[in-house]
Amino acid sequence: MYLIPTGLILVFAYINLQVGGRTVDLLPDALGYLLIAVDLFRLRQGSRAFRAGVALCGVLAVYSAAVRALLPTGLPGLFLSLAELLAQLVLLYLLVSGVQDLEERVGVHLNGAVLERWRFWLSLCWLGSFVFVLASQVMPTLAVLGLLLAAAWFALCALFVVVFYRTAHRYSLVLQRQGRG
């Protein structure tokens, strides 16, 4: 389960380099989605949410590797980015739902409620920053609010990854106690 927080870091962190007028993502999202998918595939028997997450990660990996490289500018690119954002929010929902399913299955607290709370605030900041970026096209002063929400989103991403790492650690301890770790 440790590949999920590692994959989330690759998806959440956007470190890029400009090369010849093109942007090169140094931490490719597609690799992050594939790492998440590997762990979800391993955990798929424990939750329908994890099974759905495998398929969604596959779609997001293809999108990230192929479509994003050719992403159009302007309004079409903005709508494709919004579609990716919504798919990422669904992925977060599936991850948290899957952890909650595992909690019921193994009878151990795995931070499902904590993850759900952080997912809510993360989603709110994510959507809010996107709305303010859109609104800043009309009123540039709103871009400052978008940047503040983006900074809050980044901090929440870090917290979400830390909590998910702790969840993975707790689950590995459960597996060790059951002799499957």
Looking at the 3D structure of the chain, how many domains does it have?
A: 1
> Can you list the residues of the chain whose pLDDT is less than 70?
16, 21-24, 68-69, 71-77, 133, 181
Q: Which domain holds residue 38?
A: 3-177
Partners of 18 in the β-ladder = 23
pLDDT value at residue 50 = 96
Q: Which residue has the tokens 């090169």?
A: 24
Q: pTM for the complete prediction?
A: 0.86
The span from the CA of 31 to the CA of 62, in Å, is 10
**pLDDT, tens only, 33-82:** 999 999 999 999 879 999 999 999 999 999 888 776 676 666 666 777 77
The span from the CA of 56 to the CA of 59, in Å, is 5
Please tell me whether residue 53 adopts helix, strand or coil conformation.
helix
pLDDT value at residue 181 = 59
pLDDT value at residue 24 = 67
